[in-house]
Amino acid sequence: MWTPTKTKKYGVAIYNWRVPDCRFGLPLEIGDTVQILEECQGWYRGFATKNRAHKGIFPQSYIFLKQCKVDNEGLYESVVPVEDPVVREVTLVLREWGRIWKGIFVERNHYKFDTVGKVMRDLLEWRRQLVSGTLTHDQTRELKMKIIQKIDWGNR
Amino acid sequence: MPAMKDSYIVKIAVEMTDQVAQLIEFNQKQPLAAIIQELCNVWNLTDPEQYSLQFDDCNNNNYVTEKNRNEIKNGSVLRLNFSPSKTAQDILQKLNGGSLEEKAGAMAKLSVLSADMTFALEFINKQGLTLIIKQIEKGNGKGELLAHTLSSFVELMEHGIVSWDILNGEFISRVAHLINTQHDSQITQAALSILENVILNSTEGYGQVEREIPIGSLLVHLQSTSVVQQNAVALINALLHRADLAKRRSLAQTLTSKQFRTVIQNHILQTGASSGAEMAHQLYVLQTLMFGLLEQRMLTKMDQQDQDGHDKIKELRRIAFDSEGAGSLRATQAHTRDYKKLGFKNDINPALDFTETPPGLLALDCMIYFARNHSESYTKLVLENSCRADEHECPFGRASVELVRILCELLKIGEAPSEQCDTYQPLFFTHDHPFEECYCICIVLLNKTWKEMRATAEDFGKVASVVREQISRALDVSPASLDQLKTKLQSLTYSEITQLWQLERNSREEWESHARPVVELRELITPEIMGLIKQQRLAFLVEGTRFTKYSPRGQRIKDKFWFMRLSPNHKVLHYGECDEKSAPTTEELPAKLAVSDIKALVVGKECPHMRGRKASHTQLAFSLALEGEEQQKSSSGES
């Protein structure tokens, strides 16, 4: 029996899930975020946030569940992960910049390519520090300021 | 022939004193008695039932029995000897009626043979053990004979065939007397071992041993040879183990006294005697038992009626804030303020801070110890934090409770000693209040780390985890003294710890990057990236490049350039002369070269026009080899 999930709504794939011959399977790459709709005996049914239209099933053990907030529960619910806003922002910024960065590479703007690359690596490292949770409040605050300034710089 | 048939036949040699050794095929399916019969026939021995086979040295000269015979492997060398039963009989005969010399010889033999289970069983069945016990009780015999008697006894008992309860008081007194007087180390060692076993294994024996062995008399044995030292510590451990709490405390007091500590320091820890696994284990057990004494306080919550506890809390306040000694008339409100300054969570009633177990009252004990014995550092620490007004103060009370909890956890306070473990901390044998001293060092460290982290009250947990890491890393190197611990902790600053964490994280990520899903992901992304690179390179070619012209002899021609670019459809290379600044369009470049005509691209030294030139010149050179003709387009670019 498939039952709609109440709290298990959002997760990250921790392994590649390749579907050889499964019509209803949802192929996943490590790191893909998924939104979960239903569960049944070790399986989830849902979709990857990168392609919301394609729904399918995948094993529960491949998913690391994350805390999230559900709005508008039911058919048209929207799921927002509960994360530090700065961490989330960095994630989104990195995704977006990654695309732009590739463009810069093809354009052969060496200076821009190098600088953006460096800033992205910095952001990645700082995000990692934030997530690891070993920093004190003061340090966290400082780091967040630093990150926000960098993002501002990059958006210009 | 098939191996199946031969698998139960092993080829071995059998030796016997004064006989020529036999090489035989030992059939594992044939009864031992039959094999022995055959052997005896060859050597012309009568009464084969009086003989047994024995393993060689690598198997401790044990007798071969139906149970252990499958340990015989191809190439084993066995010995034919008198059977355990016959040997036991012979030994008993000599012990009962032989000359003094014969007795000594028999006893020496017995002490060796007793380690063998088969023999021990025979000997005990023939009332041999009773005889030995009688011998020891009577107290006659000394020197080597006594040593062998005692060690035979230890070995025979080791098999667990006979209960330790059979020993009477006289026996125990006799052995205790051996310990309390000066003897050969072999005797002492066996006597110590016997009493250790009596304490641990007999129901009645402990009381008597405890009465007859004053702990101080073991002091001399702690300075003896390493086996005696080991057995002495084991006996102390056994005594501590069986003692009730009050008795254990008084024992511990003696053990932590300067006299004992110096002996352990000088004769065990510093001589390397402690490096052996057995000694290390005994020291570990001793340490664990001593730490165990703290357990009660650790698990006791502070009772609201606990006058002693309240007095201690008051004293903490007094030492910190009433340096003039005339503050007894202060109002309760002021007290509350003071308790807040002391960093208690419950500043109205600090007793509530000690209701969590662990660490319970042990935390309060440590704090008062710090305040009383290191009052200068204590006052400094408290005042320093109570004067800050910027949320960065380190709460002494709360921090102490947490720190003591961490220490209890790291030092495994209250856990029963484990059989296998042999890690002890030598520094805890260096002081009569080692735990409290350790706390004093660590609370100062915690305050230092707090400052280094610029922590606020919200960061309490994080500071605690860093401090925990600092202490556990410092203890990992087993500092020999409190000072060494202090030095080690000094060097493990907060930044050092974060660096170590960073390193560990890096190596973990390095390792994870080789994990299968990540590798697969990389393979998946690679084509896209390769595509991007190709796109970028092609764009570069389409944009074109200006080259300097060279004469056929490799001389640079001044102010002459040529230009080459790829057509936008990537099919044709256009090239022609140009000037220093311009970038001609494809239409302006007269010569053409179809990409499909290019056979190969060679670079650097491989280029025909670069042959025999210095390496520095050839770096950027390249040639295009064309299909079907020898002609080559060459250039050495300089950009």
CA B408 to each of CA A20, A75, B449: distance values in angstroms, whole numbers, following the listed order: 54, 53, 20
Q: Decide: B488 and B474 in contact? Cβ < 8 Å.
A: yes
Specify whether B428 is located in the same domain as B340.
yes
Lookup result for tokens 């530090």 = A84
Specify whether B357 is located in the same domain as B446.
yes
Confidence of residue B3 (pLDDT cuts 50, 70, 90): very low
Q: To the nearest whole percent, how much of chain A has pLDDT over 70?
A: 88
Quick count: other Cβ atoms within 10 Å of Cβ B319? 17
Confidence of residue B243 (pLDDT cuts 50, 70, 90): confident
For residues A97 and B199, give the distance between their C-alpha atoms in angstroms, rounded to a whole number: 74
Domain boundary among B82, B99, B124: B82
Q: Cβ contact (<8 Å) for A108 and B520?
A: no
Q: Give yes or no for B320 touching A (CB within 8 A).
A: no
Q: Which among A16, A106, A139 is the nearest to B536, CB-wise?
A: A106
Q: Which among A16, A102, A134 is the nearest to B532, CB-wise?
A: A102
pLDDT beyond 80 at A45: yes
Specify whether B461 is located in the same domain as B377.
yes
Tens of pLDDT along A62-121?
888 887 777 766 666 677 777 777 788 888 888 888 888 888 888 888 888 888 888 888
Read off the DSSP letter of residue A28: B
Do the domain assignments include residue B283? no
Radius of gyration of chain B (CA): 43
The vertex-A71 CA angle with A69 and A74, nearest 5°, equals: 115
Q: Which domain range does residue B186 map to?
A: 163-275
CATH class of this structure's domain A3-81: mainly beta
Chain A residues touching B536 at Cβ < 8 A: 105-106, 108
Q: Cβ contact (<8 Å) for B462 and A30?
A: no
Compute the average pLDDT of residues B176-183. Answer: 76
pLDDT beyond 80 at B401: yes
The CATH number given to whatever domain includes residue B549 is 2.30.29.30
Compute the average pLDDT of residues B470-490. Answer: 86
Span of A113-117, B56-60, B281-285, B537-541 with lowest mean pLDDT? B56-60
The residue type found at B185 is S
Q: Cβ contact (<8 Å) for A136 and B520?
A: no
Specify whether B361 is located in the same domain as B469.
yes
CA B450 to each of CA A132, B181, B376, B495, B501: distance values in angstroms, whole numbers, following the listed order: 19, 56, 20, 12, 18
pLDDT beyond 60 at A3: yes
The vertex-B154 CA angle with B152 and B155, nearest 5°, equals: 65
Specify whether B175 is located in the same domain as B250.
yes
CATH class of this structure's domain A85-155: mainly alpha
pLDDT beyond 80 at B567: yes
pLDDT at B133: 78
Do the domain assignments include residue B140? no
Length of chain B: 639
Tens of pLDDT along B24-64?
888 888 888 888 888 888 888 777 778 888 887 666 677 88
The vertex-B347 CA angle with B344 and B349, nearest 5°, equals: 105
Determine the distance in angstroms separating the CA of A65 from the nearest CA of chain B, rounded to an integer: 18
CA A58 to each of CA A35, A46, A62: distance values in angstroms, whole numbers, following the listed order: 11, 8, 8
What SS3 state is found at B340? Answer: helix
In this prediction the pTM is 0.66
In a 10 Å sphere around its CB, with 0-12 CB exposed, 13-18 middle and 19+ buried, how is residue B256 labelled?
buried
Specify whether B382 is located in the same domain as B476.
yes
pLDDT at A136: 67
pLDDT beyond 80 at B626: no
Angle between the B117-125 and B84-97 helix axes, to the nearest 10 degrees? 50
Q: Cβ contact (<8 Å) for A139 and B505?
A: no
pLDDT beyond 60 at B5: no
User: Cis bond leading into B395, ω under 30°?
Assistant: no
Q: Which residues pair with B286 in a beta bridge?
A: none
Specify whether B369 is located in the same domain as B443.
yes
pLDDT at B616: 59
Specify whether B395 is located in the same domain as B492.
yes
User: Cis bond leading into B358, ω under 30°?
Assistant: yes
Buried b (16+ CB within 10 A) or exposed e, A61-70: ebbebeebeb
Q: Which among A29, A31, A136 is the nearest to B453, CB-wise?
A: A136
Q: To the nearest whole percent, how much of chain B has pLDDT over 70?
A: 89
Confidence of residue B1 (pLDDT cuts 50, 70, 90): very low
Specify whether B369 is located in the same domain as B483.
yes
Could you tell me where in chain A the CATH 2.30.30.40 domains are found? Answer: 3-81
Q: Which among A31, A108, A133 is the nearest to B540, CB-wise?
A: A108
Number of domains in chain B: 4
Q: Which among A30, A108, A138 is the nearest to B517, CB-wise?
A: A30
Residues 411-470 of B with CB under 8 A from A: 453-456, 458-459, 462-463, 465-466
Tens of pLDDT along B68-115?
787 787 777 888 888 877 887 888 777 777 777 777 777 877 777 777
Do the domain assignments include residue B28? yes
Tell me the average pLDDT of chain B. 78
Q: Cβ contact (<8 Å) for A106 and B535?
A: yes
Do the domain assignments include residue B249? yes
Determine the distance in angstroms separating the CA of B407 from the nearest CA of chain A, rounded to an integer: 21
Specify whether B258 is located in the same domain as B383.
no
Residues 6 or more apart in contact with residue B527 via CB below 8 angstroms = none
ipTM above threshold 0.95: no
For residues B145 and B102, give the distance between their C-alpha atoms in angstroms, rounded to a whole number: 11
CA B265 to each of CA B128, B238, B249, B426: distance values in angstroms, whole numbers, following the listed order: 42, 21, 21, 9
Residues 6 or more apart in contact with residue B567 via CB below 8 angstroms = B542, B573, B574, B586
Q: Cβ contact (<8 Å) for B505 and A132?
A: yes
Determine the distance in angstroms separating the CA of A139 from the nearest CA of chain B, rounded to an integer: 8
Highest averaged pLDDT of the listed ranges B4-8, B327-331, B446-450: B446-450
Domain boundary among B67, B82, B97: B82
Compute the average pLDDT of residues B546-550. Answer: 76
